[in-house]
Amino acid sequence: MAYASRFAGRTMIVTGAAQGIGRGVALRAAAEGASVALVDRATLVDEVAAEIVSAGGTAIAVHADLETFAGARHMVAAATETLGAVDILVNNVGGTIWAKPYEHYAEDEIEAEIRRSLFPTLWGCRAVLPGMIARRSGTIVNVSSIATRSIHRVPYAAAKGGVNALTASLAFEHAGDGIRVNAVATGGTEAPPRKVPRNAGMQSDQEAVWYRAIVDQTVSSSLMHRYGSIDEQVGVILFLASDEASYMTGTVVPVGGGDLG
């Protein structure tokens, strides 16, 4: 695989890069010439970085807890020190931890969902902005979800609604600084079983019924009546990260087979 093309000479941070969509973004970005900082709490991210390097690309693994501002600052500092100024940030951390009707969520579960699916994007943007403002150049792509209209994951939906609002407001605020900010609202996506689950607890029979309802609703809401692939999400994320989307900012692009979220 040749490592050169539309991201040649660019430094890109990809968060949540150990598995799933984040891993797919990191691998393809590196294949298209980006120097990639792969960020995750899971040490599995080391394997993904090694895969890129063994194929001739440039990548580092960064271990960070992006639910904290300290973790986000560490991420940007590590990327900058090793790879150079950050040109592109892909905020991919997030995901439903529990799936159940809202009245069954405990207080600590609601807070955990918001910390998991909103704060990493808030902190990531805050940490990378000063450098982008100083250079008057930068691109941010936030991974949101069409689940802002769905069932059995209200706290997650609220978090992703926050990501959408952040995307629009940040784009408005910093277009004059040469910074573009867009988001991809991912639909249901087929992916290998997670090596590090978001929820390590055993799923009860009732919880399995509630989760199945999410799957059924997602397929029903899609005009194509199917889940998408990781590659179908990655393609749009990297389009928004590239110069091909140079006249796009403040936009949330739904990639859900016709479900607009």
**DSSP-assigned beta bridge partners for residue 95:** none
Residue type, 137: S
Element (H, E) at 61: strand 58-63
* Beta strands at 189-190 and 228-229: parallel, antiparallel or unpaired: parallel
Half-sphere exposure of residue 95: CA atoms within 13 angstroms, side-chain side = 16
3 state SS of 245: helix
Q: Which of 186, 189, 185, 148 is nearest to 20 (CA)?
A: 189
Q: Which of 41, 35, 42 is nearest to 60 (CA)?
A: 35
**DSSP H helical ranges for the chain:** 20-31, 44-54, 69-83, 107-117, 119-135, 154-174, 205-221, 230-241
C-beta neighbour count of 40 within 10 angstroms: 28
Q: Which of 231, 235, 147 is nearest to 185 (CA)?
A: 147
**Orientation angle between helical segments 69-83 and 119-135, nearest 10 degrees:** 40
Main-chain phi, psi angles of 75, to 5 degrees: -55, -50
- CA–CA distance, 23 with 16 (Å, rounded to integer): 7
Query: Would you name the residues annotated as active-site residues?
Result: 156
